[in-house]
């Protein structure tokens, strides 16, 4: 019997067996998710605060923490990310800032500019943790991967990711509205995610969660232990 496309590249049923029920209580040990702060110190700070209130175990920024047009705050943002031990992946704006710093503005970089440049050099395009992948957009190791959007209003790009990538769950930024792509029984659907809604994660499905822009008051929470994702909003 041929395996379902949505299952054959995901986790085994044993991995999350018995964990499809969402607990309504606020639980710890989750992963806080932030995306697309675009050099905005206030939105980054408020997203971090919102996730700290959720008692998260760790935080991940899904790229575009810097902005290639607005460079004034890049060192403050770098220090904030490091202070809170936020893990980062590289977005298209971060890549552009990296190239600007590489060129050095036709002068020698000052200490904090060099620190930002090295910070970006060490930032991956994506990373995986077990069967979970974190990326700015496409989960591939190429420059185009953080420029091309997954959400084009259709399921075409998401279906290609499910077909070609082995992970069970993907967390992404780039597109600024929170959207869920779900692969179930070979069919890919595109769904809006309501604020405060907890989405139970099943071993029989695969998922792409687009977290949404923190500049619009969006962030997210992934609870691996209880197998759910929650959209979190905050007022700027």
Rounded Cα–Cα distance for residues 158 and 67 (Å):
26
Q: What is the mean pLDDT of residues 184-199?
A: 93
* Predicted confidence (pLDDT) at residue 182 exceeds the cutoff of 60: yes
Q: What is the mean pLDDT of residues 191-217?
A: 95
Quote the pLDDT of residue 143: 87
Quote the pLDDT of residue 70: 86
62 or 197, greater pLDDT: 62
Mean pLDDT of the chain: 88
Q: What is the mean pLDDT of residues 200-224?
A: 96
Q: Taking the C-alpha atoms of 113, 118, 120 and 122 in order, what is their torsion angle to the nearest 10 degrees?
A: -170
Neighbours of 16 (CB within 10 A): 21
Please state the separation of Cα 121 from the chain's center in Å.
Answer: 19
209 SS3 class: strand
Q: What is the mean pLDDT of residues 163-192?
A: 96
Quote the pLDDT of residue 105: 72
pLDDT tens digits, residue range 70-112? Answer: 888 999 999 999 999 999 999 999 999 999 999 987 678 899 9
Quote the pLDDT of residue 28: 53
> Using 50, 70 and 90 to split pLDDT, how confident is the model at 213?
very high
pLDDT tens digits, residue range 12-38? Answer: 322 222 332 333 344 457 999 999 999
Rounded Cα–Cα distance for residues 170 and 134 (Å):
6
Give the burial class of 47: count Cβ atoms within 10 A of its Cβ; 0-12 exposed, 13-18 middle, 19 or more buried. buried
> Using 50, 70 and 90 to split pLDDT, how confident is the model at 223?
very high
Quote the pLDDT of residue 108: 84
159 or 197, greater pLDDT: 159
Cα distance between the two ends of the chain: 52
Quote the pLDDT of residue 14: 27
Distances, alpha carbon 143 to alpha carbons 42, 138, 147, 204, 224, in Å: 28, 10, 7, 32, 29
Q: Under CATH, to which class is 32-233 assigned? A: alpha beta
* Predicted confidence (pLDDT) at residue 122 exceeds the cutoff of 90: yes
> Using 50, 70 and 90 to split pLDDT, how confident is the model at 198?
very high
- Domain ranges in the chain are 32-233
């Amino acid at each position: 019997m041929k395996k379902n496309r949505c299952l054959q590249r995901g986790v085994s049923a044993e991995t999350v067996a018995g964990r499809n029920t969402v607990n309504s209580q606020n639980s710890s040990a989750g992963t806080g998710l932030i995306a697309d702060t675009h050099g905005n110190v206030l939105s980054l700070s408020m997203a971090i605060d919102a996730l700290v209130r959720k008692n998260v175990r760790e935080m991940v920024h899904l790229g575009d923490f810097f902005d290639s047009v607005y460079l004034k705050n890049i060192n403050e943002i770098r220090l904030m990310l490091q202070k809170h031990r936020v893990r980062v992946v590289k977005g298209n704006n971060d890549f552009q800032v990296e190239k600007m710093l590489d060129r050095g503005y036709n002068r020698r970089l000052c200490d904090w500019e060099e620190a930002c440049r090295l910070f970006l050099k060490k930032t991956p395009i994506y990373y995986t943790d077990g069967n979970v992948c974190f990326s700015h957009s496409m989960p591939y190791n190429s420059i185009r991967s953080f420029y091309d959007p997954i959400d084009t209003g259709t399921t075409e790009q998401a279906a290609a990711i499910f077909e070609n990538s082995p992970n069970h769950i993907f967390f992404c930024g780039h597109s600024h509205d929170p959207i869920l792509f779900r692969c179930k029984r070979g069919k890919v659907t595109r769904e809006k995610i309501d604020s405060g809604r907890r989405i139970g994660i099943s071993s029989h499905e695969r998922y792409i969660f687009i977290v949404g822009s923190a500049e619009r008051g969006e962030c997210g929470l992934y609870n691996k232990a209880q197998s759910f994702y929650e959209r979190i909003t905050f007022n700027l």
